[in-house]
Structure 1
Amino acid sequence: MAWLFLAAAAAFEILFALSMKYAEGFTRPLPTVVTVVGVVGGIGFLTLALKTLPVSVAYPVWTGIGSLGTVLLGFVLLGEPLTWPKLLSALAIVGGIAGLKAASA
């Protein structure tokens, strides 16, 4: 169940990051509300996951998945460039997350 909480936390983290872009400095009300929901949901579900997962694994996984999702959706939704350095950096994040997960077993 903790991993499901962590997945939900990561989804809210991605929502938070993307909605900040749409909020345009908190000048647009609806995206601003979505940003706040993303923050509360992300931290709330992360807190639930941390009841059983070690923080040394859960927090990096949360931020890593949030980063990867934001990079990919920034490309898809916002038309941001997806360069080779970005792709290689994203692969490094995946490798780090996999290593942390393997080390926690």
Structure 2
Amino acid sequence: MAWVYLGIAGLLEIVWAFTMKQSDGFTRLGYSVITIAATIASFVLLSVSMKSLPLGTAYTIWTGIGAVGAFVVGIVVLGEVASPMRILAAVLIVSGLLLMKLSS
């Protein structure tokens, strides 16, 4: 169950990153509220997952899901640049996540 909580926490990290961008520096109330709620929920689920997962594994997976997910949302939803170097960087992050998962 810890891995499920960790996965959801990572997805919520993507949500808060996206809504933080949309909040325009916390000047748009709706997006600001979603950002804060998703951040709190993400931290709570991360902490629950850490009851049984090692700190290094849980934190690395959580930040990796958020980083790669925000990268993909930036490209797909916000039209950010998908250069070969940026894509390679994301592939390397995912590779590291897979290795971390396999090692635990």
Give the TM interval when normalised to the shorter protein.
over 0.9
Q: Partner of 1:88 in structure 2?
A: 88
1:19 aligns with 2:48: no
Deviation of 1:91 after TM superposition, in Å, equals: 0.7
The CA distance in 2 between the partners of 1:31 and 1:23, in whole Å, is: 5
1:76 aligns with 2:97: no
Unpaired runs of 5+ in structure 1?
none
Q: Partner of 1:60 in structure 2?
A: 60
Unpaired runs of 5+ in structure 2?
none
Q: Partner of 1:99 in structure 2?
A: 99
Aligned CA RMSD, in angstroms, stands at 0.7
Deviation of 1:99 after TM superposition, in Å, equals: 1.3
The CA distance in 2 between the partners of 1:57 and 1:71, in whole Å, is: 21
What TM-score results when the alignment is normalised by the length of structure 1? Answer: 0.96
Residue deviations 1:14-73, cap 9 Å, x none?
001001110000000000001001110110110110011111101000000111110101
User: What SS does the aligned partner of 1:35 have?
Assistant: helix
The CA distance in 2 between the partners of 1:34 and 1:76, in whole Å, is: 20
User: What SS does the aligned partner of 1:78 have?
Assistant: coil
Count of matched residue pairs: 104
Q: Partner of 2:2 in structure 1?
A: 2
What TM-score results when the alignment is normalised by the length of structure 2? Answer: 0.97
